[in-house]
Amino acid sequence: MQEEKKLFTRKATGLVREIGVGTAVLIAIANVVGLGWQKRVFQATGWAPVGESTFLLGIHPVVMAFALAGLIILVSLYCFSMLSAAMPRSGGGYIFISRILNPALGFVATWLQFFAVAVSYGLIAVATMEAVWLFAGLAGVTLPGWLTSPVGLFLWGVLILAIFSGIAFYGIKLTGKLLQWLFWIPAFILVIVYILFIVANPQTMEAGVQSLFGSNASAYTQAAIDQGMADTAAGNTYWGAVGTAMLAAYWAYIGYAAASFVAGEVKEAHKSLPKAMFTSGLVIIGIYMTISTLMARAAMMAGKVGDFSLMSAIGYLNFGGGSFADAGLAKIGGWMPVVAAISAAGRGFGAGFMWILIFFAALWVANDIPPFILTSSRMIFAMAFDRVLPDKLAEVNEKWHSPVNAIIFVSLVAIFGCAAEADLFGESGIYLGSFIHSIINPGGAIAATDIWDAIFFLIVCTAAFMFPIRKPDIFERSPFRASKTTTQIIAALAIIGNFIALWVFATNEHAWNLLKIDSFKAAMPLLFTIFLIALGYFIYWYYSNKAKRTGVELTTIFTEIPPD
């Protein structure tokens, strides 16, 4: 009995397998299909505009990027699915890396991934109000200035954290029910959005722009051309634009392996998780490619000037080198629901209908939150259960089977995400100096979650490659796997794909731009990442040494799969 106490914190995790296949599928879809997919097409279009007649088979560069990034996601999903089926425990990648590669590497990689998800939780909490703010004007509603100020947005975000974390305290069953509501309502509206894009025609799109924004669509396209869009496009190629769009596409897919982190709470996880993960992955890829294709088609019907249209103009004026203000035009937000609103307005739908699109935008953002809470809290729980974080973080409420302390810890870290997205420490908020602001702002070091994700995914895929070699007995018993050779080929492809994504994040001018750092501020994302890695390793070192002093057999712990 004494020996068991010196290993894991207890003989059972205390978590209960209550997640069915359907909820596991929704956890991944809701985690991925949230904020990014609503604006990534416009974002990448603004970064690298190209003449629309150059599109290969008429396929928008971002749609092509979604297809190519989707291939990386599918081979990566095999790695996560195979590992989850073999080791279906809460903590996901942390378990895989620590048991197959190295405990310290597992801790540090998961520490980065934890910060990526927890900070994103705070970012999304604030973004729920930003989505309402963006579309409220289309519905004829003006939000009070205090609510849209940095302090107001921050407080709103903290309120959202308190509400959603409070619900998560009551366990996976209640959180799953909340997720169902947050998913199916906007999913139903998504069908309406699909219809609006399908029935769009040049006349209704032109009329919609005039009705909502008071100018002809061609005025926007001409303004973008006058401000340099055509000149920028002349220096770009279609495949160059696809390469730039890969940055946005990979961003938009992050979260595809969310269900693996709650594997210890999935019913018959060794059988159901692979099915759930591949189902969600295919659905996500399908949604991204179809809705983006239809949206781009609708937006390209309006404002044709030369080789460009309203689609290119919205992207360039929002995310390129253009400016609505300089053109004297009302701003058209670079979000998918805005194009749906234009189509609806062109068919005579009034402000009342726009409220439906407000729900669409806000709820697709909000349904990210339950998966964020679940995944990040289970990472912390798994590390604490291994005794490399305080034991208190592994405690589980006996009635609700919920790791309450881990959820509280996640929520505290998420507050920094709220501050960043609200730009709380900017000049319009509570300015504490340029150093603090360089770390905590919407594009600052603390919001550089993309590269932390890419590092984590790359290391998990490396663990999948080494799995048949390092743990051949567990590999052979796995209910979901290909042969050793096939597994290593797929894992190698996943490693290459994720490494390319990591390289793009590190070097692209719209991400870290590491090869052209020219100031201390520009170096802050890299420096903050180094700080996080060093902090993670110090925490691991401290608890490893504490384990030795107290007689805990960490070396034995990391040779075993945690109990159920």
pLDDT tens readout for residues 438-484: 888 887 666 678 889 999 999 999 999 999 999 999 999 888 998 99
Report the residue count for the chain: 564
Given a contact cutoff of 8 angstroms between Cβ atoms, the answer to whether 120 and 417 are in contact is yes
Predicted TM-score of the model (pTM):
0.90
Given a contact cutoff of 8 angstroms between Cβ atoms, the answer to whether 533 and 104 are in contact is no
- Residues 223-253: tens digit of each pLDDT: 999 999 999 999 999 999 998 999 889 888 9
Rg (CA), the chain: 24
The predicted pLDDT at position 121 comes to: 92
Which of 75, 471, 508, 427 has its CA nearest to residue 257?
75
| CA distances to 163, 230, 279, 369, 460 from 175, in Å | 12, 49, 21, 10, 27
The structure tokens listed for 546 are 């504490």
Helical residues (DSSP H) of 48-171, grouped into ranges: 61-86, 93-100, 103-136, 150-168
The single residue listed with the structure tokens 């195979």 is: 82
- Residues 82-133: tens digit of each pLDDT: 999 999 999 999 999 999 999 999 999 999 999 999 999 999 999 888 878 7
228: alpha, beta or left? (left if phi > 0; alpha if psi -120 to 50): left
The single residue listed with the structure tokens 């914190």 is: 9
The single residue listed with the structure tokens 């001409």 is: 222
The predicted pLDDT at position 220 comes to: 96
Phi, psi of 262, rounded to the nearest 5 degrees: -110, 25
The structure tokens listed for 318 are 């929002």
**Residue 224 burial (CB count, 10 A):** 34
Phi, psi of 146, rounded to the nearest 5 degrees: -65, -30
**DSSP character for 266?**
B
**Quick one: how far is CA 531 from the chain centroid?**
22
Q: Which residues does residue 308 pair with via DSSP β-bridges, in sequence order? A: 305
- Residues 409-418: tens digit of each pLDDT: 999 999 999 9
C-alpha span between 379 and 202 (Å, rounded): 50
The predicted pLDDT at position 210 comes to: 95
**DSSP character for 559?**
T
The single residue listed with the structure tokens 């249209």 is: 309
Given a contact cutoff of 8 angstroms between Cβ atoms, the answer to whether 50 and 391 are in contact is no
Given a contact cutoff of 8 angstroms between Cβ atoms, the answer to whether 316 and 50 are in contact is no
The predicted pLDDT at position 2 comes to: 41
C-alpha span between 267 and 258 (Å, rounded): 16
Q: Is 26 helix (H, G, I), strand (E, B) or coil?
A: helix
The predicted pLDDT at position 6 comes to: 59
Q: H or E stretch including 390? A: none
The predicted pLDDT at position 278 comes to: 93
Given a contact cutoff of 8 angstroms between Cβ atoms, the answer to whether 358 and 132 are in contact is yes
Which of 40, 45, 509 has its CA nearest to residue 317?
45
Average pLDDT, the chain: 90
Written in H, E and C, the secondary structure of 128-160 is: HHHHHHHHHHHHCCCCCCCCCCHHHHHHHHHHH
Which residues of the chain, if any, have pLDDT below 70?
1-7, 444-447
C-alpha span between 525 and 445 (Å, rounded): 4
Which of 199, 360, 354, 191 has its CA nearest to residue 287?
191
* Domains within the chain, CATH numbers bracketed: 2-557 (1.20.1740.10)
C-alpha span between 349 and 192 (Å, rounded): 13
Q: Is 225 helix (H, G, I), strand (E, B) or coil?
A: helix
Say what angle helices 40-47 and 269-299 make with each other, to 10 degrees: 60
C-alpha span between 371 and 176 (Å, rounded): 9
Q: Which residues does residue 266 pair with via DSSP β-bridges, in sequence order? A: 19
The number of helix segments (H) and strand segments (E) in the chain equals 25, 0
C-alpha span between 491 and 475 (Å, rounded): 14
The predicted pLDDT at position 66 comes to: 94
Given a contact cutoff of 8 angstroms between Cβ atoms, the answer to whether 270 and 477 are in contact is no
Residues 6 or more apart whose CB falls under 8 angstroms from that of 192 comprise 340, 356
| CA distances to 51, 198, 202, 303, 322 from 300, in Å | 12, 13, 9, 7, 18
12: alpha, beta or left? (left if phi > 0; alpha if psi -120 to 50): beta
